[in-house]
Structure formats: structure tokens, C-alpha cells
Amino acid sequence: MNTQRAQHLFPALCVLLLAGTVTFLSFTREPADAFLFPRMVSVVMLGLAIWNFYRAASGLSKVGSGFTVDLIKTIAPGLIVLVLYVFFAAKYLGFYLSSLITFFVLFSLYDPASHKEPRVWVKRLVISVVFMLVIYALFTLLLKVQTPRGIFR
């Protein structure tokens, strides 16, 4: 197997394992009604992950050069923030507060605008709050999905 195919295969395998785990968890957790929406999303995600893995394994995926050291250095801070969000913040701070904080941190990490101008920070904060209001309206008001409440019950 050549290096470029391996560089496509590794991320495809990671995505497939993640999709499989999420799908498994969505079908094994109770109460079942609370996991209807995650089940639908996870099954679609699993299907797409299987297709992506097939393309990587068969060599059909020829776009890009795979993971490089520079790319890993760029992605690593975001992955660390996301791991903290998934394994700590969402459970203890609640879904909405932790999502707001995580979105704001990720936006600040990857926004190319200056980190020295106060108006840019205000813009990031406003965008983060508006984003979370949309997520709140979608999950709580429209879909009636139960989310982790955390310490602020």
C-alpha cells in the first residue's frame, strides 16, 4: 500500500470507528425516545463513513495528500478542545453552556482575524451567541431533544 492511500485510509478508519461507536451508543441507551434523533443522525453518519472508508480502501479517493505534520499541528488544538467538550464540559456544564464556550474557543482559535482588536472579540462573541440561539431553537423548541443539563439544572 502506498503512503498516500494510507494517509487516506487512516482518517477514514477513524471516522468509521467514531460513527460506529455513536451509532452503537444511540441504539443501546435509555430512554429510547430520547435517542430517536441521535439514532437517525448516527445511521446516516455511519452510512457515509462506510462509503468514505470504501473509497479510501479501494483507492477511489485521490483528493488531497492526506495528513501531514503541519496539518496535524493545525488540527491538534481543536481536537483537544473537542475532547474536553465531549468528555467533560457537556456533562458537567450542560449542553448549551459548554457548546457556547466550545464554539467560541474554536472560532477564536481558527478565525484569521486579529486577536488584538476588541471589536473582533465582540464579533466572535455575538456570532457564538447567535449560533447557540439557533441550536437551542432547533434542539429544544423544534425537535424537543433532551440535552445534558449539567450543574445548571
Cell of 105: 474557543
SS3 27: helix
* Model pTM above 0.85: no
What is the average pLDDT value for the chain, to the nearest integer? 86
Q: What is d(CA 107, CA 19) in angstroms, rounded to the nearest whole number?
A: 24
Q: What is d(CA 54, CA 61) in angstroms, rounded to the nearest whole number?
A: 9
Q: What is d(CA 83, CA 105) in angstroms, rounded to the nearest whole number?
A: 13
- Average confidence (pLDDT) over 82-92: 88
Instruction: Report domain extents, the chain.
Output: 1-67, 69-153
Could you read off the pLDDT of 33-73 as tens digits, one per residue? 777 888 889 999 999 999 999 988 888 776 666 667 888 89
Which amino acid does the sequence have at 4?
A: Q
Is residue 25 within 8 A of residue 19, CB to CB? The reply is: no
- Average confidence (pLDDT) over 94-104: 92
